[in-house]
């Protein structure tokens, strides 16, 4: 899209969480646009950071290993930047149940510190924060729009909601330029597939490629809403440049909800290997299970003209192709661990 290309050409962009799944996909697009891209990543072992995610971009962007909560590092990284894509933090719901304090530190305390640094060191920077549909908890109506009640079912969601709240407050109180997205399940090349920490679809992709059994919880009829990563990248870029996004929160969604069993079958068919088995919810997953989810993304469609482009089937195929080619870079063969 020419609008985006022009908007980012020779602009300075910091991506927090830049070696991760969405961060590195954003970086690729921005490098193509001729942006001056700087990645900041703390390489959390539970996160999506992977040096291979930026393979081929060596020398065309800068990388700093560090935490957004580290004041010295962040102050330096923010200097002179025009944009900040704020994708840093923990994403695993289950990890947050096991260690809520670590999730609090990385998703709340560090975010507050980052925003305070923006306010002090670079108050004109344009910030996009990626939140999560998990803040809605178990939907009381479908599709879920941005006015749906907020009822987080895990610590990660409580914390991501606080992080989002901070962004809105730094906009309202201190005039920072921010826009917030609430992402539904995101999938695509460069997602973490060695376990289910970035969602079960990554884990399924791997199992299918290995010819193994995809565990489908419950009766397989649960509905989920998946966005292909390139569509999410597009939404982040639009939200960063459009004045009408400022101070607002937008759902993403696909308009193509799918049941878990259908999804598993699509993956297996596209992979030409693997099988699906219905299994009982493990108790720790069942407690945070949200039921069916489908996003209403009318607000971003009408407000910013964003539309998801990738069909689920195409996205799955592209993702399988990527991991078929690069599997050695994302998991060790014979490492059977899920989480």
- Site track 23-62 with a second copy (rule: CB under 8 A), x = hit: ----------------------------------------
Burial 48-79 (b: 16+ CB within 10 A, else e): bbbeebbeebeeebebbebbbbbeebbeebbe
Does 127 contact a second copy by CB under 8 A?
no
User: What six digits make up the tokens of 157?
Assistant: 């969601």
Query: For residues 168 and 261, which CB has a smaller minimum distance to a second copy in the complex?
Result: 168
**Shortest Å distance, C-beta 89 to a second copy:** 15
Query: Of residues 43, 55, 65, 151, which one binds a second copy by CB under 8 A?
Result: 151
d(CA 213, CA 278): 10
DSSP β-bridge partners for residue 39: 15, 63
158 binds a second copy per the rule CB under 8 A: yes
* b/e burial code for range 316-326 (CB count within 10 A of at least 16 → b): bbbbbebbeee
> Among the candidate windows 93-101, 199-207, 309-317, 319-327, which touches a second copy by CB under 8 A?
93-101
Contact with a second copy (CB under 8 A) among 173, 243, 302, 334:
173
Q: Determine which residue in the list 58, 101, 243, 337 makes contact with a second copy, applying CB under 8 A.
A: 101
Q: How far apart are CA 159 and CA 270, in angstroms?
A: 36
CB of 153 to a second copy, least distance (A): 7
> Is 298 one of the binding residues for a second copy (CB under 8 A)?
no
In the structure encoding, which two tokens stand for residue 120, read together?
A: 């002090």
Residue 165 binds a second copy, judged by CB under 8 A: yes
Closer CB to a second copy, residue 38 or residue 159? 159
In the complex with a second copy, which residue's Cβ is closer, 105 or 259?
105
Helix axes 200-209, 260-271, angle to 10 degrees: 30
Note whether 100 binds a second copy by CB under 8 A. Answer: yes
User: Is residue 187 within a helix (H) or strand (E), and if so which, with residue range?
Assistant: strand 185-187
Total Cβ atoms within 10 A of residue 286: 11
Q: Is 247 in the site for a second copy (CB under 8 A)?
A: no
In the chain the first and final C-alpha atoms are separated, in Å, by: 39
Using CB under 8 A as the binding rule, whether residue 246 contacts a second copy is answered as no
* Interface contacts to a second copy, rule CB under 8 A: 97, 100-101, 104, 108-109, 112-113, 116, 147, 149-155, 157-159, 161-162, 165-166, 168-169, 172-173, 287-288
């Amino acid at each position: 899209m020419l609008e985006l290309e022009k908007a980012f050409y020779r602009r300075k962009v910091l991506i927090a969480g830049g070696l991760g799944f969405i961060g590195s996909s954003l970086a690729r697009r921005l490098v193509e646009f001729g942006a001056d891209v700087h990645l900041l990543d703390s390489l959390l072992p539970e996160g999506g950071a992977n040096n291979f995610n930026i393979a081929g971009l060596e020398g065309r962007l800068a990388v700093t290993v560090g935490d957004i909560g580290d004041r010295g590092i962040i102050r330096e990284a923010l200097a002179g930047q025009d944009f900040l894509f704020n994708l840093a933090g923990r994403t695993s719901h289950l990890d947050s149940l096991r260690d809520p304090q670590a999730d609090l530190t990385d998703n709340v305390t560090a975010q507050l510190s980052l925003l305070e640094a923006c306010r002090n060191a670079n108050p004109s920077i344009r910030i996009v924060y990626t939140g999560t549909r998990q803040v809605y908890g178990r939907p009381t109506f479908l599709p879920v729009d941005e006015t749906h009640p907020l009822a987080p079912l895990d610590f990660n969601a409580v914390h991501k909601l606080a992080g989002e709240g901070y962004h809105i407050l730094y906009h309202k109180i201190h005039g920072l330029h921010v826009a917030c997205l609430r992402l539904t399940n995101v999938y695509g090349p460069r997602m973490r597939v060695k376990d289910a920490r970035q969602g079960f679809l990554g884990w399924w992709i791997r199992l299918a490629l290995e010819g193994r059994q995809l565990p489908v919880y419950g009766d397989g009829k649960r509905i989920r809403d998946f966005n292909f990563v390139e569509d999410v990248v597009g939404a982040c870029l639009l939200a960063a440049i459009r004045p009408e996004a400022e101070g607002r929160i937008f759902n993403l969604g696909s308009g193509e909800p799918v049941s878990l069993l259908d999804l598993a079958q699509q993956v297996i068919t596209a992979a030409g290997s693997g099988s699906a088995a219905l299994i009982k919810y493990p108790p720790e997953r069942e407690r945070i299970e949200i039921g069916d989810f489908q996003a209403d993304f009318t607000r971003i469609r009408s407000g910013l003209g964003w539309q998801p482009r990738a069909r689920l089937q195409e996205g799955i195929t592209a993702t399988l192709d990527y991991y078929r080619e690069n599997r050695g870079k994302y998991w060790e063969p014979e490492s059977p661990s899920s989480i």
